[in-house]
């Protein structure tokens, strides 16, 4: 038994594909072939970036270690489809009149990847300051954290009593491990 192959030119390949598409259209299959192609293209692009409207932001229990206070910010997907977060959120401390207290949090410099959140699932970013005036004074205590999810120009306010001390206010990347 021999295998016979024939190479088609671009024109020949185009003609063959057109003939197959016409045959499928006659059989009523063209619509599903197009839908499959579109779905495959969308799936390979990955999930969309989570918007503020897709997320519920909250604070988990604070912890302290080695002269630092750590507070996880939880990002929960409340939409009906998966979405992704990558990088660092923007975080600043506000008073009761929504005026910023001190500078925004700096990035911790940790490595990060993309975190895909299915509906109802969460990821966190950790904010950190010192546990009192170790290397500098403490600023006044804020009432809110203003948080911009990564890739967003829209923020949300989360009630929080936060005091930045010793000129240290850092935020880590979005992750599922709870690291800064």
pLDDT at 44: 54
List, in sequence order, the alpha helices (H) in the chain: 10-26, 30-45
Mean pLDDT (whole number) for 17-26: 40
The model scores a pTM over 0.75: no
Tokens of 12: 């020949």
Mean pLDDT (whole number) for 19-27: 40
Say how far apart CA 171 and CA 142 lie, in whole Å.
16
pLDDT at 109: 82
Say how far apart CA 147 and CA 75 lie, in whole Å.
10
Confidence grade of residue 33 (pLDDT, cut at 50, 70, 90): very low
Mean pLDDT (whole number) for 91-97: 98
Ramachandran category for residue 102: left, alpha or beta (phi over 0 → left; psi -120 to 50 → alpha): left
Could you tell me what percent of the chain has a pLDDT over 90?
65
Q: Residue 162's closest CA among 144, 148, 135, 180?
A: 144
pLDDT in tens, 104-150: 999 998 889 999 999 999 999 999 999 988 878 999 999 999 999 99
Domain 49-171: assigned CATH number: 2.60.40
The Cα diameter of the chain in Å comes to 87
Q: How many CB atoms within 10 Å of residue 4? A: 4
Residue given tokens 């989360």 in the structure block: 158
> Are 68 and 128 a contacting pair, CB within 8 Å?
yes
Say how far apart CA 79 and CA 172 lie, in whole Å.
24
Say how far apart CA 70 and CA 91 lie, in whole Å.
14
Could you tell me what percent of the chain has a pLDDT over 70?
74
Confidence grade of residue 46 (pLDDT, cut at 50, 70, 90): confident
């Amino acid at each position: 038994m021999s295998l016979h192959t024939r190479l088609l030119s671009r024109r020949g390949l185009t003609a063959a594909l057109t003939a197959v598409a016409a045959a499928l259209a006659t059989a009523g299959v063209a619509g599903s072939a197009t839908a499959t192609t579109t779905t495959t293209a969308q799936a390979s692009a990955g999930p969309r970036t989570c918007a503020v409207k897709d997320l519920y932001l909250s604070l988990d229990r604070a912890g302290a270690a080695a002269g630092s206070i750590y507070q996880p910010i939880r990002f929960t997907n409340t939409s009906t489809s998966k979405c992704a977060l990558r990088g660092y959120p923007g975080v600043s401390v506000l008073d009761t009149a929504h005026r910023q207290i001190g500078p925004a949090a700096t990035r911790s410099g940790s490595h990060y990847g993309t975190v895909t959140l299915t509906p109802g699932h969460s990821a966190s970013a950790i904010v950190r300051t010192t546990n009192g005036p170790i290397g500098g004074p403490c600023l006044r205590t804020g009432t809110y954290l203003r948080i911009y999810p990564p890739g967003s120009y829209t923020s949300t306010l989360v009630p929080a009593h936060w005091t930045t001390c010793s000129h240290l206010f850092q935020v880590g990347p979005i992750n599922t491990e709870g690291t800064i």
